Structure 1
Amino acid sequence: MNGAKSKRGGHSPIEHFFRDKAVFITGGTGFLGKILIEKLLRSCSGVKAVYVLLRAKDGIQPNDRLQEMFQCPVFSRLREENPSALSKVVSVTGDILEPGLGLSEEDIAELVENVSIVYHSAASVRFDEPLRKAIDINVLGTRRVLELCHKLKNITAFVHVSTAYCFCNRNHVDEIVYPEEVPYQKVIDVSEWLEEELQEKIQSQVMGGRPTTYHYTKALAESLLVHEAADLPVVILRPSIVTCAVREPLSGWGDNFNGPAGFIIATGKGVLRTMYLRPNNSADIYPVDMVANMMITATWYMCKAKPVSPFVINCTSGSMRRLTWQQIFDYSKPLVLKYPSSEVFRYPGGSFKTTRFWHSVAVQLDHNLPAFIADTVARLGGYKPILRDIYKRIHRAMGILEFFVTHEWTFSVDNLRLLMASLEGPDRETFDFDIRSIDWVAYMEQYILGVRRYVLKEDPSTIPTARRNLNRIYYIGMLVQLLFVAGVIRLLVKHTRTFNDLWWSLISRILQLSVRISLAMQSVASRH
């Protein structure tokens, strides 16, 4: 028999490959981890077991965290179609920060006997993580997982999730692991004995032009794999910006503010009015469900074709289906008005700035000044002022991401194309990750609806009310602008009787107009 019978018809080599195999996953409760687990259970139904490394968190035990995860919308399709599949997921108590992953002897024995495939996606994704902590999680954490892999009796693939930007100090990135100027072990040794304050002073020198500890330590982890996993079948997957699902299990599903999601939310709420970036640069994004499909396909391919290890895949879209920041803005601008949030501070607006000077001016006039006024009014009304704190967080995030939205990279994707061409029969559809099939306009609509529903937790039924609220905010904003202009005119001509009469006439007309607008909106609301 060449493969398992697919639900879509024909035989699925990938589904057959995973039959009776057990996998071990780190980072299983993360954005990508959830999608990977769901896809394995739904499309590789013959999988024997999925072991997920989990630690107790906020007083919640690992198995309870697992059951909580199963209540996420991303598992709703599986709960409906094949709920018994969830029983194959086994929580394994441990922590990538602990020696030996903090595993018990009993758990180690079970994993050694059963597991043949390992997915390592656990990582600290904080860009400003202190170097020592980033090394402990992203580099030493990888070493601890490797130590387990070396004990497994029948390991067939170790898939390590890296990032396309771990070598962002280069203009072009091939599907290879580049050597570091300072060997990874020396960096580890220094991080263990050097005081954190001194580490902060020297880290910019050792990071080789990378702006964040996250990207640097992911590069170190790749170097570690080259030297310490030479005897293992290793896949290094480098996704670019992982975004919401395009198709499965729920179109538009996402669970975080990372990537474009945070800026779409801030723009839609009228908070974000300016960004400093290069609008025609590539916004290299890849939907999370396609990344998971690529991980599963790469596992099968590693065993089928046995390429040289490590098999590096640049999971990037720029060379095959290019999308720019300007296109994201153009596509999303009408959509945030069509599907507004229920809670909007100002009517959405603003623009990109290509120079720091004009961006700084816009920050003062369109961010800080309105925040100061709004917080002052809130304070006078007995409410807690929050907007200035919100803007501080937004400006901090913008500062961290500035390097990536003002630079552009090219990536070799030969291995990605090779992997794509290897798919056979129904697997081309079941495990599709061909970015060329995506309609970016339709995808952005899914993205905005998904962010609204799954990240902001706003039910689609609230959209009509949100639209009416947005219209109200628009007219209020126009009224405020008219009053501001009228106030300026009033100051200029306050000593002239004729202009004084014109002033009060103008105010009267504005008030009449506002009453008419209010009555018209109430009439529209009553019809709906």
Structure 2
Amino acid sequence: MEESSIAEFYKGRSVFITGATGFMGKVLVEKLLRSCPGVDKLYLLMRPSKGKDVSTRLREFTENQVFENLRNEHPEQLEKIAAVAGDVTFPGFGLSSEDMQLIIDNVSIVFNSAATVKFDEELKTAVQLNVKGPRELLAICRKMKKLQAVVHVSTAFNNLDREELDEVIYPAPIDPIKLIELIDCLDDGLVRAITKELVGQCPNTYTYTKALAEQLLERECGDIPLAIVRPSIVTAAEHEPLPGWVDNLNGPTGFVSGVGKGFIRTFKINSQLVGDIVPVDYPINLMIAVGWHTAIQNRRLDKTSGIPKKIEVYNCSTGQKNPLTWEMFREIGFKYWLKYPTVEMMWYPNCSFTKNSTVHKIDQAISHYLPAYALDLVARLTGKRVKWVRLYDRAHHAISCLDFFMTHQWRFVSENPIRLLDFLSEADRRTFYFDVRQIDWNTYIGTYVAGARRYILKDDPSTLPAARRNLKKLYAAKMLLRLTLLAVFFLVLSYLWQQLSSWGSTTPGEYMASDNITFLHLQSEVEKETSNQGINPYLTSGIKS
């Protein structure tokens, strides 16, 4: 059997990972332990939080469902994980002197995936995490005695003022160092006041700060062997660590889950645009392969000329290599929600797409808020908790953060991952697959829906028969409602037709005669009343009799 060059490279080497407790971080840790069994240690930067120290957080981390296969098959691998207490917003990550020395003496490969992924994050927080964090990491990396590769996780969605985004680092709209200095000397209120002006054409603080981080890394990395991986919209796993595994509602996952529940029934989106989604296992495999490739290349220095090489950038996206439109995503997803429905549905799953803001607001009012207010009214009358309008407010706020990305399209050049495949053995291509051209969207979206059902909505597979019965009931209720609304519509139409018909059956002569009789009757009544008072009615109106 052919050996894996990548697994062999990681054998006996230690890895430092930031952002390990995030969605991509968990998948990275699991993949390294399972597919690179000879790896020495994985040092995970963890921040004590909610009254828990890092040892408690580490124990909870290893109990996560993502490590299910490892716990069952190779539980000893989990013992290779070591947590170090720290915070990327602190100088030196706030590491103790002992932990700092441990990392400096032992780490060979670094994966930096720590970041705030909130699109509407405060600029000050976004700068601290997404810009200052990478700068502090470089300072630590310069001290590492065995460093061979640093892989920084960015996003394909930066520099969105361009229609085509190549695998290069673009000039930043502002000097990142000066921005850090500016943010540090201003209070939160002033930073909020100037955020819109600073961010400019960027849709949010996330994409703005991720672009600045790339510029800072290019400027300050020196001879550190550094590469950047830019995933597009990261979604549930296709195969690993578990088919359909996902642990958050970010991006399309919230939409997929909301539609399956019958909670979301309208979405502002240009359905003909390409939705550049990528299953999480693809960028993770690419990151591991990039770490290997960066290390075995000439580090950052060309040995013949001594000229520093440019940082290699890898766009991990599907739009140019294996495009999927949002309309295809909707149609396939709807098909699988009917096949694998969730148990507790609010209504029969369906969703309309529109790119028109006015139409979308009308759809929201009819499909979301009208039922929400009705349900809250019933809850108030029965003494139950009022929640539906509030839930829709929160959902709409979260969805609105995606509007820009769902109504625009970019061309992400993604050639470097394809070129990298040429360096991989057949064994490595199978184990560390990242060729997005191989994704079968019909099969994957079925996996995605099943994953959202199991891991987000927490539906056990055994509940599927009951869910299908509920789906049939909701379909009957949907058709009954349609028939009722249709009947009401025809009754109103019939009534209006009768009124128009009765008006239309009167001839013009009859109508005028009827009108004249009424006028003469009123005139007679007025004359009678005014004559009793000795008043000439025509003089009162200024008309001669």
**Paired AA for residue 253 in structure 2:** A
Structure 1 residue 247 displacement after superposition: 1.1
Distance 1:490 1:282, change over 3 A: closer
1:273 aligns with 2:256: no
Out of 234, 239, 242, the position equivalent to 1:247 is 239
Alignment partner of 1:258 is 2:245: no
1:201 and 1:170 map into 2 onto residues whose CA distance is 26
Taking the aligned partners of 2:258 and 2:386, their CA distance within structure 1 comes to 18
- Please tell me whether the aligned partners of residues 230 and 309 of structure 1 are also in contact (alpha carbons under 8 angstroms): no
Q: Equivalents in 2 of 1:363, 1:234: separation in Å? A: 46
- Aligned-residue offset at 1:287: 1.1
CA distance in 2, matches of 1:118, 1:484: 61
Q: What is the match of residue 334 of structure 1? A: 335
Residue matched to 1:207 = 199
Which residue of structure 2 aligns with residue 148 of structure 1? 140
1:33-432 to structure 2, matched below 5 A, reads 33-306=25-298, 308-432=309-433
Q: How does 1:418-497 map to 2 (within 5 A)?
A: 418-486=419-487
What amino acid does structure 2 have at the position aligned with 1:201? A
Partner SS, residue 159 of structure 1 = strand
Give the letter for the 1:288 counterpart. Answer: V
- Percent identity over the alignment is 44
- Which residue in the other structure is 1:503 paired with? none
Unaligned runs of 5+ in 1: 1-8, 496-528
Give 1:474 deviation, angstroms. 2.1
Q: Offset of 1:493 from its aligned partner?
A: 7.7
Greater C-alpha Rg:
2
Deviation of 1:351 after TM superposition, in Å, equals 1.0
1:492 positional shift = 7.7
Cα distance in 1 between the residues matched to 2:488 and 2:271: 37
Shift of 1:487: 5.1
| Contact 1:11/1:425 (8 A) holds in 2 | no
Shift of 1:353: 0.8
Provide the rounded CA distance (Å) in 2 between the counterparts of 1:322 and 1:425.
Answer: 25
Whether the 8 Å contact between 2:260 and 2:342 is mirrored in structure 1 is yes
> Any conservation in 2 of the 1:234–1:309 contact (CA below 8 Å)?
no
Contact 1:113 1:152 survives alignment (8 Å): yes
Equivalent position SS for 2:402 = helix
Q: Distance in 2 between matches of 1:376 and 1:30?
A: 39
SS in 2 for 1:53: strand
Instruction: Check 1:31–1:490 CA distance in 2 against 1; reply closer, same or farther (3 A cut).
Output: same
**1:160 alignment partner, SS class:** strand
Mapped partners of 1:352, 1:461: distance in 2: 32
2:529 matched residue in structure 1: none
Q: Deviations over 1:35-86 (max 9, x none)?
A: 1111111111111100001111212221221221222221111112211111
Partners of 2:273 and 2:423 lie apart in 1 by 31
Point out the more displaced range, 314-323 or 420-429.
Answer: 420-429
Given that residues 27 and 120 in structure 1 are in contact (C-alpha distance below 8 angstroms), is that contact kept between their aligned partners in structure 2? yes
- Secondary structure of 1:163's match? coil
Scaled by the length of structure 2, the TM-score of the pair is 0.86
Q: Deviations over 1:85-118 (max 9, x none)?
A: 1111101111112221111111111111100111
Question: For 1:484-514, what per-residue CA distance to the aligned partner results, in whole angstroms no more than 9, with x for missing partners?
Answer: 454566678899xxxxxxxxxxxxxxxxxxx
For residue 467 of structure 1, report the CA deviation from its aligned partner: 1.1
Structure 1: how far apart are the matches of 2:482 and 2:132?
Answer: 56
Listed one character per residue, the Cα deviations across residues 233-278 of structure 1 (whole Å, up to 9, x for unaligned) are 1111100011111111211111111121110111111121111111
Q: Give, as a single letter, the amino acid of the residue that structure 1 aligns with 2:421.
A: M
Supply the distance in 2 between the matched residues of 1:310 and 1:378 (Cα, whole angstroms): 58
CA distance in 1, matches of 2:495, 2:378: 27
What RMSD over aligned residues (CA atoms) do the two structures have, in Å? 1.8
Equivalent position amino acid for 1:407 in 2:
H
Q: Which moved more, 1:442-451 or 1:92-101?
A: 92-101
For residues 20 and 187 of structure 2, what CA distance do their matches in structure 1 show?
33
* Distance across 1 between alignment mates of 2:98 and 2:186: 37
Equivalent in the alignment of 2:501: none
Instruction: Give 3-state SS (helix, strand or coil) of 1:448's partner.
Output: helix
- Is the 1:242–1:286 Cα contact (8 Å) retained in structure 2? yes
CA distance in 1, matches of 2:174, 2:382: 57
Aligned to 1:18: 10
Letter in structure 1 aligned against 2:5 = P
In 2, the alpha carbon distance for the partners of 1:280 and 1:481 equals 29
- Report the Cα distance in structure 2 between the residues aligned to 1:38 and 1:276, rounded to whole angstroms: 36
SS in structure 1 of the partner of residue 145 of structure 2: coil
The alpha-carbon deviation at position 475 of structure 1 amounts to: 1.8
For residues 105-162 of structure 1, the C-alpha deviation after alignment (integer angstroms, 9 at most, x for no partner) is 1111111110011111011001011111110111111112221111101211111100
The letter of the residue matching 2:399 is: M
CA distance in 2, matches of 1:254, 1:393: 21
CA deviations 1:262-309 (Å, max 9, x no partner) are: 101111111211111111111111111111110010011112233734
Shift of 1:357: 2.0
Aligned counterparts of 1:309 and 1:45: Cα–Cα separation in 2:
32
SS of 1:90 mapped into structure 2: strand
2: CA distance between counterparts of 1:406 and 1:227?
33
Distance 2:76 2:187 in 1: 51
Q: Which residue of 2 aligns with 1:504?
A: none
> Are the counterparts in 1 of residues 226 and 312 from structure 2 also a CA contact under 8 Å?
yes
Distance 1:494 1:381 in 2: 36
CA contact 2:257–2:456 (8 Å) conserved in 1: no
What letter is aligned with 2:350? Answer: G
Counterparts of 1:304 and 1:99, CA distance in 2: 31
Could you say if the C-alpha distance between residues 177 and 194 of structure 1 is closer, same or farther in structure 2, counting changes exceeding 3 Å?
A: same
Rounded to whole Å, the distance in 2 between the matches of 1:173 and 1:484 is: 49
